[in-house]
Structure 1
Amino acid sequence: MLGKAELLDAVASVNRGIAATPSDRTAIQAAAATLEGRNPTPRPLEASDRLNGDWLLLYTTSQELLNIDRIPLAALGPIYQCIRLAENRIYNIAEVNGPPLLSGLVAVAATLEPVSAQRVNVGFERGVVGLRQALGYRSPAQFIQALQSTPKFSLLQGLDFRINRDRSAGWLEVTYLDDDLRIGRGNQGSLFVLQRV
């Protein structure tokens, strides 16, 4: 699909948005809007086989995510958004690359509440920040299992904290979905472009 190739080309060189110039952002917004107008899955929340799974973030305008790259002596690594529709859960996992043995992880777990065929309300509940080695991190899927089976990680592993759902609620709308690409829009005006892992 022509619009899809254009979007993938546009996001390829901007390091998830960290290195995007204003003209890059304009081109990416336009390419995303073109694809959204041709969405092959107009009711994405009913297409669980397409929506469910682990997604790699290719691009975002979310400053909350991009600011993770400002941690001293570290660089933002891959960011994943993992959707578990059967449990009405979503997990955001950002790898932070640093000196040997000091590579970190920032993870957030939230509930999903469908409010339409395209939109979910998101209620953030739990955050975990720590070193990947101490947390036993190997992959997003493995770490989600650890989150589900561990009510609270010890302080030796990292910071594991509750998030006030009332103060951190938001929504996410899936505006384009095919077998391997997803575009979403968030309540703060953020754009997300993700590729299936």
Structure 2
Amino acid sequence: MASLLHSTLPLCHHRNSPSQTHSISPLGACHFSKTQKTHHFSTLHHTRNCNFKKGFICLSSSSEVTSIEPPQAAQPKDDLIGSLKIKLLSAVSGLNRGLAASADDLRKAEAAAKELESAGDPVYLPNDIDKLQGRWKLIYSSAFSSRTLGGSRPGPPTGRLLPITLGQVFQRIDVFSKDFDNIVELELGAPWPLPPIEVTATLSHKFELIGTGGIKITFEKTTVKTTGNLSQLPPLDIPRLPDALRPPSNTGSGEFEVTYLDSDTRITRGDRGELRVFVIS
């Protein structure tokens, strides 16, 4: 009977008294004695009437009671996601969209992105397609570390014989019309004393969903519009080349996976291993 009593009685601990000892008492009440600094418990049939104060942790023991610290409460998911988003933004800040990224910068950004991807809910675009709607600003691309605007694909170089300064990069997605536009602001160098030419290139695509988180885009045309001092010039449309004239490496389409998505942040991974991070604009 004694062993049964010890194994079923609760053991109380208060966070402000980690070194206090405890004992079993036949007094018929659960109370704390300031002079003896012990917790007392009733007999088994009165134990359920103990009035435990907030902050106590109750356990059972086969001998005497020892104080324990309560386990740390699990971090709320929203707080965890928020802290991981800040960590990712900190990892990619100051990298000029990835153009200034070193090998160490690439590793840190990759690790921070994986943490956020793991903590977030699984992406299921058939149900969450509305979250894609809007204008997204690119804040990081791992492929830009190759120092070309095409990333892992062929593209114009930056800072070479024809200086090209990359401005802001956006993706404009319309889930109703299935339009998917990549918008790139560029500054083209010109011979002195002519000022640089500012242009905005819009690469128009149509998109479709693939599986749960995949997106396939098909290129249609490029529209180039001068801005700044030459903004009065009309836009120039460059149509898509016919399939017969297009090199095999340029099929006019691409695929990528959305690996994290919420109302203001999106992570994608391209078909050539490119990691991209966007925020709603």
Report Cα offsets for 1:139-188 as digits up to 9, x if no partner: xxxxxxxxxxxxxxx9x633522145781221121100111110001111
Query: Any stretches of 5+ residues in structure 1 without a counterpart?
Result: 137-153
Q: Which residue in 2 is equivalent to 1:91?
A: 181
| Greater relative contact order structure (CA < 8 Å, 6+ sep) | 1
Q: 1:32 to 1:164 in 2, by over 3 A?
A: farther
SS in 2 for 1:103: strand
Q: Which residue in 2 is equivalent to 1:146?
A: none
| 1:102/1:131 contact within 8 Å kept | yes
The answer on 1:124 being equivalent to 2:219 is yes
Q: 1:89 to 1:24 in 2, by over 3 A?
A: same
| 2:124/2:213 contact within 8 Å kept | yes
Q: Which residue in 2 is equivalent to 1:145?
A: none
Aligned length: 179
The answer on 1:160 being equivalent to 2:238 is yes
Q: 1:6 to 1:163 in 2, by over 3 A?
A: farther
**CA–CA separation in structure 1 for the residues paired with 2:176 and 2:133:** 9
| 1:11/1:17 contact within 8 Å kept | yes
SS in 1 for 2:97: coil
Match of 1:7 among 77, 82, 88: 88
Q: Which residue in 2 is equivalent to 1:48?
A: 129
TM score, norm. by length of structure 1: 0.79
The answer on 1:187 being equivalent to 2:271 is yes
| 2:221/2:237 contact within 8 Å kept | no
Q: Which residue in 1 is equivalent to 2:111?
A: 30
**CA–CA separation in structure 2 for the residues paired with 1:180 and 1:164:** 37
Q: Which residue in 2 is equivalent to 1:58?
A: 139
Bigger mean CA deviation after superposition, 37-46 or 119-128: 37-46
1:67-146, aligned counterparts within 5 Å?
70=158, 72-97=162-187, 102-132=197-227
Match of 1:178 among 256, 259, 262: 262
TM score, norm. by length of structure 2: 0.57
Shift of 1:189: 1.2
Q: 1:164 to 1:78 in 2, by over 3 A?
A: farther
| 1:45/1:51 contact within 8 Å kept | no
| 1:107/1:128 contact within 8 Å kept | yes
Query: Any stretches of 5+ residues in structure 2 without a counterpart?
Result: 1-81, 190-194, 244-249
Shift of 1:24: 0.2
Structure 1 or 2: larger strand share?
Answer: 1
The two structures, once aligned, show a CA RMSD in angstroms of 2.5
**CA–CA separation in structure 2 for the residues paired with 1:128 and 1:10:** 33
Report Cα offsets for 1:80-103 as digits up to 9, x if no partner: 011111111200000013575720
- Give 1 or 2 for the bigger CA radius of gyration: 2
SS in 2 for 1:15: coil
